[in-house]
Amino acid sequence: MPFADTSIDYCGPITIRTWKGRGAKMHKAYIALFVCMSTKALHLEAVTELSTEAFIATLRRFVSRRGVCRNIFNDNGLNFVGANAYLRSISNLHNTEDYRRAVVNESSTLGISWHFSPPHAPHFGGLWEAGVKTVKFHLRRVMGVTSLTFEELSTVLCQIEACANSRPLCQRFEGDMDPLTPAHFLIMRSMKCLPDEGESVSALNRWRYMQTLVRGFWRKWSDDYLTQLRKRPKWKKVITNLKVGDVVILKDANLQPGKWKLSRITQLYPGNDGLVRVVEVKTASGTYRRSISKLCPLMINDA
């Protein structure tokens, strides 16, 4: 069951505004990140403050939409000691007796077992720290110094969540062109993002500006994700050649958020040394000749 075992972490802060017009007051907001330990699916929630009440409200929203978890894993908070003001505030929140008592009581009511990682051991939370990096790093790159309202931030986070949960994990069956994604565990099908109205960077039209932020996140994150799928170390050892019939992801910077260009290899072009560096791929829109540096092969799910 998705999110039966879940890890939670915060990232931020992000500056948001109280309303769209002039004279709006600025204040901090945070992102609560829920990561499914088995399917790697993400769930993002905007949080206005670092308090026990705000966290419990966020947990209730999550449980109402994703179901009750069996186990929740969380940072102990002690590894934040000695860091900046934001991390110290997280540490102070996690280490207060009121917070722990309220969280344990709320978890007991919902039937959830709560697990804290050991003190001074941030490597125990590698799974959710990777999720924090995915969201925070690229979101800050596209937002810069701009600010959104709470409603706009919630909308952007939902679309970012859809992009992250559309990422291909592996092939479901041999030769299958529809890959297995975290969305299949959540909605039993691929995630489809709604099309937008095209490019626009005007801050006067807030809706188009929000879509510009989502597209910017998609381009940077998807490129980074595909690069991680096919790492290219130095040529110190021979790597297995691609084969005819392999299903690969074709890198394309012009795709809309949530869309991945899958193709099947139809022909190989080996060099004089027998190594394949160029192949011919067939997609839904035609046949192309591409370098293997632009292709990311999908593994077959053996489960």
* ω into 13 cis (within 30 of 0): yes
| 211 belongs to a structural domain | yes
Same structural domain, 156 and 91: yes
Give residue 265's domain range: 247-297
Q: 105 Cβ partners below 8 Å, 6+ apart?
A: none
In tens, the pLDDT along 161-201 reads: 888 898 888 777 665 677 888 888 888 887 776 656 555 55
Same structural domain, 226 and 258: no
d(CA 181, CA 3) in angstroms, rounded, equals: 15
Mean pLDDT of 274-284: 87
Q: Give this prediction's pTM.
A: 0.78
Number of domains forming the structure of the chain: 2
Same structural domain, 40 and 70: yes
d(CA 246, CA 297) in angstroms, rounded, equals: 7
Residue 127: both structure tokens together: 């799974």
| 167 belongs to a structural domain | yes
Beta bridge partners of 261: 250
Across the chain, what does the average pLDDT equal? 78
Same structural domain, 181 and 276: no
In tens, the pLDDT along 88-118 reads: 565 566 666 676 677 767 666 667 777 777 6
Same structural domain, 102 and 158: yes
Same structural domain, 169 and 137: yes
In tens, the pLDDT along 243-276 reads: 888 888 888 888 888 888 888 899 998 888 888 8
